[in-house]
């Protein structure tokens, strides 16, 4: 295991000291037992100081946030062992054998910190000859924790070789014969270590897989958020473009219909003007001949009146005295206008319907990917 526990990882977030009985919170963070108690006492529903997750899964009455509740949380025995070994490495600098000189070495088995001369003696003595002795400056708390022998729970100095599952204790062989004979589940310590390691191996695999899956799910979620943004932009642009085009269509329709109406009206008016100018001409001739006739009957010269009667009778008989001139028929532009408008309305309706379908299809696609179908549409 290459993982090294950094010094700050041994620190409790509340008291900032190395953990003292590290309790495992539901979120996976650690806090000293005493710190959980005082943290909960200070704020009755305080969450984990690192992630705000609830510390007690089922909120109990605030009066009952007591040692019992906190003791029900499991203790991280691995962190406990690391902290314990870190403190052995840090405590004092003097040789624990002679108490005279500065300690430079540590025995990985009996945890004796020694000066160079005591170390030499340790290496010569029969009982400790095979012990690993290392320089204090290079040993890490984890390495020390890993190489320390397990001691019998009853005999502080005797090495444990067995593990009684019934009592949940590491025990030495004599203790097994004396006190745990009747226990049903006692295994060799190595065997229990092996099965614990196997359990950790499969836990690690399980957590790694879950971690990968969750990371991938989050990546996928981000991709979907981006897709939603892109879809939004594209659809907005489509709506703008279509509406602009329809707006142009409406403007063009307005122009064309107005032109149809004004063309038709001015054609009709021109025809009326033509009729009027023809009637004006006839009126002019009639009026001037009326003057001739009036003058002749007023003056009555002889024999000019007789001649003039003949001439003017001929002339008036040839004048067009009719007040009827056909104007061109009025062509009502309305039917054509209506057809044109209906066409435009149909085009606009179709375009709006199809843009609605496109947008709905794209938006509902986004939802289909999410496996969550909402009735938003």
How far, in Å, CA of 165 to CA of 160, rounded?
A: 14
CA distances from 322 to 248, 269, 272, 277 (A): 52, 21, 16, 14
Q: Which of residues 293-352 bind Zn ion (CB under 5 A)?
A: none
| Binding of Zn ion by 83 (CB under 5 A) | no
| Cβ 4 to Zn ion shortest distance, Å | 22
Report the residue number, 57 or 229, with the smaller CB distance to Zn ion. 57
Residue recorded with tokens 């001015």: 266
CB atoms < 10 A from the CB of 274, how many? 13
Report the residue number, 155 or 356, with the smaller CB distance to Zn ion. 155
Residue recorded with tokens 């000066």: 115
How far, in Å, CA of 59 to CA of 64, rounded?
A: 10
Nearest to 228 by CA among 102, 73, 376: 376
| Cβ 9 to Zn ion shortest distance, Å | 13
Write the secondary structure of 316-341 as one string of H (helix), E (strand) and C (coil).
HHHCCCCCCCCCCCCCCCHHHHHHHH
Stretch in the footprint of Zn ion (CB under 5 A) among 183-191, 208-216, 233-241, 258-266: 183-191
| Binding of Zn ion by 50 (CB under 5 A) | yes
Q: Are 178 and 140 in contact (CB under 8 A)?
A: no
| Cβ 217 to Zn ion shortest distance, Å | 21
Report the residue number, 19 or 344, with the smaller CB distance to Zn ion. 19
| Binding of Zn ion by 41 (CB under 5 A) | no
Angle at 52 between CA 71 and CA 208, to 5 degrees: 85
Report the residue number, 73 or 253, with the smaller CB distance to Zn ion. 73
Stretch in the footprint of Zn ion (CB under 5 A) among 84-92, 180-188, 190-198, 244-252: 180-188
**Site map for Zn ion, 92-131, x if CB under 5 A?**
---x-xx--------x-xx----x--x---------x--x
Binders of Zn ion: how many residues, by CB under 5 A?
Answer: 31
| Binding of Zn ion by 32 (CB under 5 A) | yes
Q: Which of residues 133-172 bind Zn ion (CB under 5 A)?
A: 152, 154-155, 164, 166-167, 172
Residue choice 10, 18, 22, 35 for contact with Zn ion (CB under 5 A): 35
Is the peptide bond between 228 and the residue preceding it cis, with omega within 30 degrees of 0?
no
Dihedral, 187, 189, 192, 196 alpha carbons, nearest 10: 160
Residue recorded with tokens 């707006």: 247
How far, in Å, CA of 165 to CA of 182, rounded?
A: 12
Report the residue number, 105 or 344, with the smaller CB distance to Zn ion. 105
CA distances from 353 to 68, 276, 327 (A): 67, 53, 48
**Site map for Zn ion, 190-229, x if CB under 5 A?**
----------------------------------------
Stretch in the footprint of Zn ion (CB under 5 A) among 51-59, 76-84, 269-277, 362-370: 51-59
Judged by the rule CB under 5 A, the positions of this chain that interact with Zn ion are: 12, 14-15, 27, 29, 32, 35, 48, 50-51, 53, 95, 97-98, 107, 109-110, 115, 118, 128, 131, 152, 154-155, 164, 166-167, 172, 175, 180, 183
């Amino acid at each position: 295991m290459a993982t090294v526990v950094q010094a700050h990882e041994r620190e409790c977030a509340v008291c900032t000291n190395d953990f003292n009985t590290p309790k495992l919170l539901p979120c996976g963070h650690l806090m000293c037992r005493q710190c959980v108690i005082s943290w909960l006492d200070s704020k009755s529903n305080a969450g984990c100081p690192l992630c705000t997750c609830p510390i007690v899964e089922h909120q109990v009455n605030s009066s009952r946030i007591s040692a019992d509740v906190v003791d029900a949380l499991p203790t991280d025995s691995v962190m406990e062992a690391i902290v314990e070994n870190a403190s052995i490495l840090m405590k004092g600098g003097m040789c624990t054998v002679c108490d005279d000189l500065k300690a430079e070495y540590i025995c990985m088995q009996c945890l004796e910190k020694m000066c160079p001369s005591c170390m030499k003696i340790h290496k010569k003595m029969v009982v400790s000859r095979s012990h690993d002795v290392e320089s204090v400056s290079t040993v890490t708390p984890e390495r020390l924790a890993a190489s320390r022998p397990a001691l019998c729970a009853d005999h502080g100095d005797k090495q444990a070789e067995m593990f009684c599952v019934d009592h949940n204790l590491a025990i030495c062989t004599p203790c097994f014969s004396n006190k745990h004979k009747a226990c049903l589940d006692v295994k060799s310590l190595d065997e229990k270590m092996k099965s614990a390691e196997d359990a950790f191996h499969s836990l690690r695999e399980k957590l790694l897989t879950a971690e990968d899956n969750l990371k991938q799910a989050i990546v996928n979620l981000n991709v979907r958020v981006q897709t939603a943004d892109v879809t939004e932009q594209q659809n907005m642009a489509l709506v703008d473009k279509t509406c602009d085009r329809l707006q142009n269509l409406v403007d063009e329709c307005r122009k064309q219909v107005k032109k149809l109406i004004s063309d038709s009206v001015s054609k009709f008016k021109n025809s009326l003007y033509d009729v009027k100018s023809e009637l004006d001409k006839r009126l002019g001739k009639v009026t001037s001949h009326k003057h001739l006739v009036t003058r002749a009957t007023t003056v009555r010269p002889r024999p000019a009146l007789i001649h003039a009667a003949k001439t003017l009778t001929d002339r008036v008989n040839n004048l067009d005295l009719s007040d009827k001139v056909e104007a061109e028929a009025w062509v009502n532009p309305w039917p054509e206008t209506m057809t044109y408008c209906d066409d435009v309305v149909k085009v606009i309706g179709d375009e709006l319907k199809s843009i609605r379908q496109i947008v709905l299809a794209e938006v509902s696609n986004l939802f289909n990917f999410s496996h969550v179908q909402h009735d938003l549409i």
